[in-house]
Structure 1
Amino acid sequence: MTEQKETNKPTKPLTLSTTARTGASSSKSDATQVRQKFSHGRTRAVTVEVKKPAKRTSGASASPASPAASPAKPPPAAAPSTGGGRTLKLGGGAASRPAPTRPDGGRGIVLRTLTEEEKEARARALVDANREAEVARQRAAEEAARRAAEEKARKAAEEEHKRRLAEEEARRKAEEEMKRKADVMVQKRLDQAASAPQTPIARQADEIKAGAAPSTSPAQPVRRPPGAPAPAGASSTGPGGVLRRPPMRPAINKRLPQPPGARREAPKRRSDKIDVARAVAGENDFRSRSVAQQRRRLERERRREHANDTPQQKVYREVTIPETITVQELASRMSERGADVIKTLMRMGVMATINHAIDADTAELVVTEMGHRPKRVAEGDVELGLSDMVDPEGSQVSRPPVVTIMGHVDHGKTSLLDALRATDVAAHEAGGITQHIGAYQVTLPSQQKITFLDTPGHEAFTAMRARGAKVTDIVVLVVAGDDGVMPQTKEAIAHAKSAGVPMIVAINKMDKPGADASRVRTELLQDEVQVEQLGGDVQSIEVSAVKKTNLDKLEEAILLQAEVLELRANPNRPADGVVVEAKLDPGRGPVATVLVQRGTLKVGDVLVAGSVWGRVRRLLDDRGSAVDSAGPAFPVEILGLDGTPQAGDEFHVVESEARAREVADFRSRRERQAQLARAAGGRGTLEEMLKGIREGTAKELPVLIKADVQGSAEALAGAISRLSTEKVAARVIYSGVGGISEADITLAKASGALIIGFNVRANPQAREIARRDKVDIRYYSIIYKVTEDIQSLMVGLLEPTFKETFLGNAQIREVFRITKVGNVAGCMVTEGQVKRGAKVRLLRDNVVIHEGTLKTLRRFKDEVREVQHGFECGMAFENYDDIKVGDVIECFEVEEVRPTL
């Protein structure tokens, strides 16, 4: 744009200066200064030289050209370049020079070489011209950018202005709609007030309509002729054709467009209020309600109008009632309001708050009173459904047997296990095994599997039986061929018989010279173990763990015994099993080794084991490899429990975490209560055993005998066995010779037995374990004292019988309500007598509705012990007040009859 303007601008002529050029004293040329002018007031001085034509010597005389020969036509100066790479040509070559005279009389141009000063001057002029052109271009670009920014800002301001106008219009429409709804509501209230003239509002409205306009109304009356239509915006018409018009008020939120950046003032908040007088007079200049408040009011009116359209039907539910429950929880289970439940309790005479705990009887009465169906449950019912699932027919498949290897110390149990394990390694072609759990599975060449439990001693085995977990299917009794039957061998036999599992005798170390299998079989007869070679039903295999001989026969014997047992399980169900061992790993947390008995355990299952629960995060097999699932008779390690369970605890997979947490909490409370009871009662094992027999959980009296000599032990065992009757059986689970050891305490703990020490004592370690596990040890030195105590214990195990003796009847003639006592029945003894403290039954229409004891028995105002036939008395019951006139009270006594063998 600038370049075009400069091009169209008329060019001014150059002005010449008469100042001679410095150093140019030649007579043939004159030097002049030319002042060149540019746009924006810029000028520049340029030196112009004019060459004089040279005179020829050939005689052709030509007139010399004068520098001022044509003053009207000065040499034009080149315009400054404004771009495009054009340059300025100034100097002697740019000015008109007189041409030399040719022979034919014409003029020629004489060229000369520029001097260094002229060259520098031309270069400086070219640089200045380029710089000026670049500055001009930059200024032009800046000007264009500024104009574009101003245009963009102007368009944005116009868009903002339009948007604000649209918002103002929408706000104005919303306010008009709110105003219209408010007018409708005011008219509705006025109609309601007019329909009830006895109210103060209606009276005030009538006075205002009668002409008593309030003095506080700012409305100005406006006269209009009769019959003329009311102008728009008028709210009401008074007497005499006076139109009451609301005062003019500025439009709210009516904002005018403001320039960008101007500060907007917030509208002032209205402080005036509406009253009945102004509403009746047509004053609509009142504060309008918010949109949310109007919406809530409309919603309430809509619900009020449709309240009687479709009456809701009350839903009656089956309410589960535990032993104790809070009022809030009971109301939640019935889907009733807590206030209604509290009112029901108050009508029953029970003052309770929302957090008050009530018993099951009161809760059942409340549920029945409110129309629901009560369902009484005990606290222990949370365990129902965990292990009583019955597998359908045809769902069970064969499972591998679970085998425990037991025997005396140094009889080759570990060597036999290592030999079987090496066979399994060879079958799987594995380089090594990480045997880090107490159970593993061996796969035979025939692809059949056997699960072995590697129990450290007999403690874990008996601990599992103590918790009612029957884990082992077969016991392999390892007996050394050179040593024969030893004391711990007899203990292992006692453990196996107590568990009720079949045995397989493995006579080990047959590679030694002194091994004698016949002697071992004969010695086993003393412990009532009769092998097949001697006409019994117990298999015996002669093996050598060192030479690895007859290991295949031992495995075949195990599989044969498993076929006889017909071991089957259902893999397609939630898994359950038993905990073999558990530990707390520093890096992995609680780790439990479990043996799945039924179902399939998967990663992600929620299970509860004893008093702990958790979600299975990872499963590891006996080789330390992660697996996704574990079927029946498969030992795995579980990671993800919230605590460490105990060996022998049963685990069950449940459907949700809430159920698992509920069962675990119940078991934890039960364990704490049992511990407190043991701590309070001291050595209460026998009492607990008697209670278990009465409840049906125990049916015999187990006894463990340790004597100083074998004859005494046999005599005691025979005498105790002869005490058994059809009602109670005394069973000797083990009898031996020697002091009472830790193994005896463990066996007695697992079997719930009483330890009898005849002329022997327990060592300090055994006494400590017995004190910790609450195992009773009784010491005797006379044999008949043993039989007397055992007989008395057996008599105590029998359930006592109760004999009921009728005393008399009394009829209720009147019911009195006494404060702090309750309902008292005024009775007449119609038969026999009535005693205080005796058992009573309340009969209504010959139906027993209550059975309990008498709280008070009075004759007039005196407390008496008994009332005879034909006398009046007052009676009150323990914790029962529902008595009516006409009820019959039956009084009787209960006598306990001691049982006998």
Structure 2
Amino acid sequence: MSDNDGKKTLGVRGGGPRSGNVKQSFSHGRTKNVVVETKRKRIVKPKLGTAQRDPAKGGGQTSSGGANRPAGISDAEMERRMKALQAAKLREAEETARREAEEQAREEERQRRRQEAEAKEREQREAEERLRAKADEEERQRKATEEAVNLAAAPAPEAAPAARPTPTKQPPRRGETPERDQKSRSRAKGRDDGRRSGKLTLNQALSGGEGGRQRSLAAMKRKQERARQKALGGHEAREKIVRDVRLPEAITVGELAVRMAERVADVVKALMQSGIMATQNQVIDADTAELIIEEFGHRVTRVSDSDVEDVIDQIEDKDEDMRPRPPVITVMGHVDHGKTSLLDAIRNATVVEGEAGGITQHIGAYQVQTDSGALLTFLDTPGHAAFTSMRARGAQVTDIVVLVVAADDSVMPQTIEAINHAKAAKVPMIVAINKCDKPEANPDKVRAELLQHEVVVEAMSGEVQDVEVSATTRQGLDELLESIALQAEILELKANPDRPAEGAVIEAQLDVGRGPVATVLVQRGTLRQGDIFVVGEQFGKVRALINDRGDRVKEAGPSVPVEVLGLNGTPEAGDVLNVVETEAQAREIAEYRHNAAKEKRAAAGAATSLEQLLAQAKENENVKELPILVKADVQGSAEAIIQAMEKVGNEEVRVRVLHSGVGAITESDIGLAEASGAPVFGFNVRANAPARASANQKGVEIRYYSVIYDLVDDVKAAASGLLGSEIRENFIGYAEIREVFKVSGVGKVAGCLVTEGVARRSAGVRLLRDDVVIHEGTLKTLKRFKDEVAEVQSGQECGMAFENYEDIRQGDVIEIFEREEVERELQ
């Protein structure tokens, strides 16, 4: 097949013709071998001056270029040469383009550098012009000052003759028009002198004067002031001001310079002369600083960090400023003896209905006005054993203690604690024998039992007043109020209301809508809305005052309980509130107290030695812990729960409170509980929505309580689950070995007589020889005659074989016992 048939040909490398066999397939399975000759088309771009090859002419010869081809060169070689030529031309063109681009880039770079150099030279010229103008201005001022000095020093001119047409000129004073006229006249001369004084070089302009720094505005003012002083009064130096420098235990060099009103560089120089290399930010001790202060001629006042609290006014109240104040009465007694009910009867209120479980779990503060018009402030403290510290705080701020004792229950443990608190606070006591309306009431028994605790009532010829009352029938309430008024009159309670307020925090809580809220009993002074105060480690500004009835008031005087809003954090119950002048003082005192408490806690932790840590770790190695998290509504309840948790446990199990706080259960509490595997106990608080979702996702248990009894009981039950079960042994029988037999396949078998109880195969056995235990194990077999049995009764014979033990002898005694596990509980 030729190339002119119009059909496709197979290209063969090499250019020459070549033959080949192609097998064709047809229908009905017929095939045919065809000989095919293939030719390769040759495409060569001719050189200039040569014509294109005509494919119709055989051999691929050119029409006119055949004579230009060297002899002996094939078409393939010619084609390769043409391609190499084209590639060389292409590379030459690319190289030319690249050189042109580089040349253009270099030209642009030269142009940019030329412009930058021109701009820099222009800026330098402008800077030189500004500095030259500044130097001219300074020279003009200097010339004007010298002329003013000369005019001031010259003697007064003699009076001119009358015929002289021009009046004599007085010496010009500073700020007047003649001086400005003199300056304007000398301006041209000053400019010329400034120009002749020497040109300002570029190095001088860039260096900015001596030390590489330009003079500040303050330096220029000091220079002008010196020139003015020199012009007016001569060369006398200013008198040095001696200052009283308050020096704390440690101070930085910069702060020391500020307190002395001296330059930092001078202080650093003085330290260097003393052999101390220090920068302005370094801290130096008080002794070194005292030497530097004395060297500069100032007086030293040594103070300590705690002196920040000196701003709290320690005012000595004068007798003429004292005014009568209401007494503060604390109601104490055993739980469920009717303290809150008695107070309700006095207040004609129903406070007890608001307490969960009918018991008081917070310290309540109320004011009551008697029929005679006298005001009484009552503190209602809880009587439960967990609230010992709260009762102690109640006794610290009180004037009179009313000890409530139930006539049907008499003196109880918490009654004795209340008596001890009252004695420790050295406050008078009034005994209110409650529940006298009950048939089983026995007031005389109460009086007799109080004698055992050195409380002698008036009915027993003592000095302590006692009143029989009933909160239900209101019996004896008037008599109780009269006794309180009589005791208050004897005490002659007075306070100065016209001074900054001082009070004690009775209770503190974190309210969701109002923020931190503290119940404060004002003891001295008057607390007003807008006062700035510090309380413990917290501070704030009184945003609102709310009395015990829930009404807003503008101020609270001595012995008035109020809720204070506006704190920056929740204080501790028992903290003292003091009013200060500025918020900066309050913040400084709060920060000092916070840092001191933090250092105290860190010191307490660091005081433990390595031996103590190892001993403690060894001691706690076998102690199991139940971690819990506690969140409560008020600070006092959280403290009471923690104290109750510390009493739960024994030498094997104990409860560890990982974290306690006031306010709602938050997502961070849930994260801490998940990390430690602890449940979260909420006392009169609830978890917010993110915390609930996180607890459900992480599987953290949240329990809510409103009565402290239930919380303590549940924790005891949970801690009891950590106790190991107690194994008890019950002896069920004894058997005596009468004979020992050897049985093939079994070993030694003891022929026994059950002398007491019963022998069971499932029970444990001990082998006693001369009442000494020589083996403890299990039975391999228990037979009655030839039958395997489960148990053998007393008085019957049997055969026994021990598991893995054959040292049995005639006369040995076998003790049979059973073990049982008994669950233990914390008491």
TM-score bucket (shorter structure): 0.3 to 0.5
TM-score for the superposition, normalised by structure 1? 0.43
TM-score for the superposition, normalised by structure 2? 0.47
Bigger Rg, which one? 1
Higher helix share: 2
